[in-house]
Amino acid sequence: MASSDASLTLSNSDSSLNLFPYSRDEYVTAITDFYTVAASLHIPRSALKHPPPGGWPNITPENCVGFGKSDFVVDLLKHLSYISDGKPRSLATQVHYKCNVLDYSVVSPEEFSSERLKLGELVAHSDENPVTADTSSARSFAIIQEGRYILLNTATGEMIEEMIRCNRTYEDAAMAYFAILVEDYRTLRLIPVPGFNTIDLMGDVSDVPAAELPDLREQGPGKGPWTETNVRWLRHIYRKHGWPGADYRKEEALKAVAGYMEQTPYDWIA
């Protein structure tokens, strides 16, 4: 992964903030828009946390001395929204496949100095593979953790996505990256499933009219983990309940999805 430090002469004080491609507020708006769409679709509204006036009181230059991040990053973290229900790796608050938001609003000064947080973790990683995400730059930090690490490099304005098991790295401009995630939720390329990991479709699955969807009783056990029929049914349920319109009936939709999963035979754990 490319590191920005070799090509920059900025100090950690970030005195020349005009060299940064995006402002703090531009990042805050893009990230909050993504979280808001996720909360509209499936995440409990109570889990979406917005900063108080002046920002999160625990995120200060003094508390973050051991974190090793620039003033710009600390100020950005202080004013970001977060998603958390207080449970590590909660399925209810996933924003991507096996991914939860890293909630800096609850980090203590001691945790800011820990090596674990510098690696982009608040809790020990559950995967047998080691964390490979490069968070060493003073101007990079992890936004999302677990199945993949999503890092923001504030010096270059790029999002860096690393999939832990696949050893895959993907980079994109930050504003475009979050706009794509918003669209992925609106079009249901990302599909939340209560009690399961969020579906991240790697390929295209065409939609079919509801009348052509097979009867649930005729489905055999899924070997997938997800079959195209599963995907089509789940999309149909969300859209039937109004997604992505203003009249979307969230609680009814999630209840219907849970009911679908109860009727769906499967012999896998996703």
Task: Please tell me the distance from the alpha carbon of residue 95 to that of residue 84, in angstroms, as a whole number.
Answer: 10
Residue pair 117/66 in contact (Cβ under 8 Å)? The answer is no
Residue scoring higher pLDDT (219 or 189): 189
The mean per-residue pLDDT over the stretch 57-62 comes to 98
pTM > 0.85: yes or no: no
Per-residue model confidence (pLDDT) at position 34: 97
Tens of pLDDT, residues 102-116: 999 999 999 999 877
Residue 237 vs residue 133, higher pLDDT:
237
pLDDT of residue 146: 66
3 state SS for the chain: CCCCHHHCCCCCCCCCHHHCCCCHHHHHHHHHHHHHHHHHHCCCHHHEECCCCCCCCCCCCCCCHHHCCCHHHHHHHHHCCEECCCCCCCHHHCCECCEEECCHHHCCHHHHCCHHHHCCCCCCCCCCCCCCCCCCCCCEEEEEEECEEEEEECCCCEEEEEECCCCEEEEEEHHHHHHHHHHHHHCCCEECCCCCCCEECCCCCCCCCHHHCCCHHHCCCECCCCCHHHHHHHHHHHHHCCCCCCCCCHHHHHHHHHHHHHHCCECCCC
Q: What is the mean pLDDT of residues 197-212?
A: 77
